[in-house]
Amino acid sequence: MRIAQLAPLAESVPPKLYGGTERVIAWLVDELVELGHDVTLFASGDSKTKGKLHPVWPRALRLGRRGTDPNAACALLIEAIADRAGDFDVIHSHVDWLPLPVLSRTGVPFLTTMHGRLDLPGLSDVIGAFPDAAFVAISDDQRRPLPDANWIATIQHGLPNDLFRPSCERGSYLAFLGRLTADKGPEAAIRIARAARTPLRIAAKIPRSETAYFKKKLEPNIDGGEIQLVGEVDEIGKQPFLAGAAALLFPIAWPEPFGLVMIEAMACGTPVIAYRAGSVPEVVEDGVTGFIVDNEDQAIRAVNELGRLDRRVVRARFEERFAASRMVKEYERRYRELLGRGGREGFETGSTISRPEVGTASESLR
């Protein structure tokens, strides 16, 4: 198949540092190429891919020139795919709603993977305007605010089996990896680590918009000893950071659509202690790959129960459920269905996906 992939322009594909969506797109494109497909990636010019790169903007916006209008860059992305739509059998968008008016008029089958939260005002109006646009969710929970959308599948993220090496050692600290924003729970992570008398290492970026939050709420509690900020880590640095941890703390305070860092930790054999919100119950198997908790007291107790978990089993469950090859095959199947049937017909819309039992692989909508 000739497949176009539309990527956000905030980060390169893959990202130099932080960037979950762009990382997933990179794995998807490379695996599709390995399967023999002709894939063109529409992304920033500093992206690297096994497919054909169509550079839309010279450099990723976050690390590029300050003051660049992201809407201007997105306008060029939409124009690029509008101009070349006829070159492809199917178009796969990862940039939310903005391309829908153009993609729906190209006559080329397309689908959109939603990577963010969907419980925001006005989104139901967009769904109503594009009733036949095909959408893919990255968790069942993500779909709940928009039940009337044309959901053709829930496809959980996956990453290459050889990306991270697992460690069977218990680990000497707790890890927090992500953006330093209140909804990610860094304050709770600090309190949990202190109460559990376990060091905490924070590998995270500080968004420009969150500088005041960091200065007021977090910096006073980072002592450089028991609580350390190690900054952003790239793909190479992420491996030892996660593998050396006793557990990943994921005390989120928002409906996380997926949480890529959870499966990155599992790939290292590192269990996850996560709050019961968003996608967490679909990703973490309580008592197997980590613990699902409802508050800080339960999280503290979970730290003391980590010895019950087998890190080899954590890694094995990652391989069974979250390999990139599984993710890519599920997308490949949806591309073929779009080409063969098109639109809303032929898909089991309105169906739900049950959480897999231990010992079975994750399944998407059938």
Residues 136 and 7 in one domain: yes
Residues 117 and 178 in one domain: no
Q: What is the CATH number of the domain that holds 194?
A: 3.40.50.2000
Residues 155 and 254 in one domain: no
Q: Identify the band that residue 65 occupies on the pLDDT scale cut at 50, 70 and 90.
A: low
Within-domain flag for 75: yes
Within-domain flag for 345: no
Residues 239 and 178 in one domain: yes
Within-domain flag for 155: yes
For position 365, what pLDDT does the model report?
28
pLDDT digits (tens, 9 = 90+) for 121-146: 999 999 999 999 999 999 999 999 99
Residues 16 and 152 in one domain: yes
Helices (H), 130-252: 140-143, 186-195, 211-213, 235-243
How far is the C-alpha of 362 from the C-alpha of 92, rounded, in Å?
22
Residues 77 and 214 in one domain: no
pLDDT digits (tens, 9 = 90+) for 8-31: 999 999 998 777 899 999 999 999
Residues 294 and 256 in one domain: yes
Which H or E element spans position 103? helix 100-103
The whole-number average pLDDT for the span 308-337 is 98
Residues 294 and 332 in one domain: no
pLDDT digits (tens, 9 = 90+) for 160-188: 999 999 999 999 999 999 889 999 999 99
The whole-number average pLDDT for the span 332-336 is 98
Full domain range(s) for residue 190: 173-320
The whole-number average pLDDT for the span 77-87 is 98
Residue predicted with more confidence, 169 or 365: 169
Residues 98 and 238 in one domain: no
Within-domain flag for 353: no
Q: Would the pLDDT of 363 be above 60?
A: no
Q: Is the pTM of this model over 0.85?
A: yes
Residues 219 and 124 in one domain: no
Within-domain flag for 303: yes
Mean pLDDT of the chain: 91
DSSP strands (E only) in 51-166: 52-57, 90-93, 110-113, 134-137, 150-154
Residues 330 and 315 in one domain: no
Starting at the edge strand found earlier in the chain, the sheet holding 245-250 runs: 227-229, 200-205, 173-179, 245-250, 272-275, 290-293
Q: Which two tokens stand for residue 315?
A: 């890694």
Q: Would the pLDDT of 110 be above 70?
A: yes
Residues 49 and 154 in one domain: yes
Give the total number of structural domains in the chain.
2
Q: Identify the band that residue 345 occupies on the pLDDT scale cut at 50, 70 and 90.
A: very low
Within-domain flag for 103: yes
Within-domain flag for 296: yes
Within-domain flag for 359: no
Q: Would the pLDDT of 354 be above 80?
A: no
pLDDT digits (tens, 9 = 90+) for 272-306: 999 999 999 999 999 999 999 999 999 999 999 99
